[in-house]
Amino acid sequence: MGLETALFSLVILIFSVVIHEVSHGIIAEKLGDPTARLAGRLTLNPLPHIDPFSSVLLPLFLLLVNSPVLFGAAKPVPVNYSNLRNPRRDMALVALAGPGANLLLAFFCALPVRFGLLPAESAGGGFLLQVVVLNLVLAIFNLVPIPPLDGSKILARFLPDRYLPILFSLEQYGFFIIIILIYSGFFQYIIFPILKFLLYLLLGAQL
């Protein structure tokens, strides 16, 4: 992948992860925790959200080496779970908000292509397709139940209490586990079939 294409994809990714994180904060506030708003994180301005390594350097590197899975993240929006009205249930809802926002963004960007308003071969259609693909990958990837990904917090909602310390103890190793799984090809068997199905569902064609 050329540098210009990689940078273009990186810009889309950054705004997608910003929307992802802001959605966490908005739902947390709806459920009783204003921490994200008080920290100035309920904004679409990317600057307060960007982490130099995980938001820029890591995804740019993965793009340039044609990694099978694109991984990037903004600074996590601060959430004080003790402020939530029902901490265990609401923690899962806050976690689900991020991937949910990415799925909604993919859905709305797919509509003009699906109904022929912007052909997939046009510049505008190509841009929307890239937004769709990146947001679907973000949503699917973040739903994997490995700490600190959102899927682990959703899983925690349903696990018996005795297993929670084991799940959250993995968070300190989560980044290394994720990198190993990316380069082992494991995620290809999870993300690609789901991505292919969702693209067919949203666009009516396998691209």
Burial of 67 (0-12, 13-18, 19+ CB in 10 A): middle
Which residues are identified as catalytic?
21
pLDDT at 206: 46
Separation CA 13–CA 93 (nearest Å): 23
**pLDDT above 50 (res 68):** yes
Contacts of 174 (CB under 8 A, 6+ apart): 146, 147, 148, 149, 152
Contacts of 32 (CB under 8 A, 6+ apart): 83, 84, 85, 90
Confidence of residue 177 (pLDDT cuts 50, 70, 90): confident
pLDDT at 69: 65
Q: Collapsing DSSP states into helix, strand and coil, what is residue 4?
A: helix
pLDDT at 3: 64
**pLDDT above 90 (res 90):** yes
pLDDT at 136: 95
CB atoms within 10 A of CB 65: 9
**pLDDT above 80 (res 187):** no
96 or 73, greater pLDDT:
96
Enclosing domain of residue 110: 3-203
Separation CA 74–CA 9 (nearest Å): 15
Q: HEC string of 174-204?
A: HHHHHHHHHHHCHHHHHHHHHHHHHHHHHHC
Q: What pLDDT digit, counting tens, does each position of 192-204 carry?
A: 899 999 999 999 8
Confidence of residue 2 (pLDDT cuts 50, 70, 90): low
Question: How is residue 127 written in tokens?
Answer: 């841009």
What radius of gyration do the chain's Cα atoms show? Answer: 17
Mean pLDDT across 169-175? 85
pLDDT at 142: 92
Mean pLDDT across 158-167? 89
Confidence of residue 178 (pLDDT cuts 50, 70, 90): confident
The region, left, alpha or beta by phi > 0 then psi within -120 to 50, assigned to residue 40 is left
pLDDT at 205: 62
152 or 183, greater pLDDT:
152
Question: How many domains does the structure of the chain reveal?
Answer: 1
Can you spell out the DSSP letters for 56-93? IIHHHHHHHTT-SS-----PPPP--GGGSSSHHHHHHH
Phi then psi dihedrals of residue 123, to 5 deg:
-60, -45
Identify how many contiguous H helices and E strands the chain contains and give both numbers.
9, 0
**pLDDT above 60 (res 50):** yes
**pLDDT above 60 (res 107):** yes
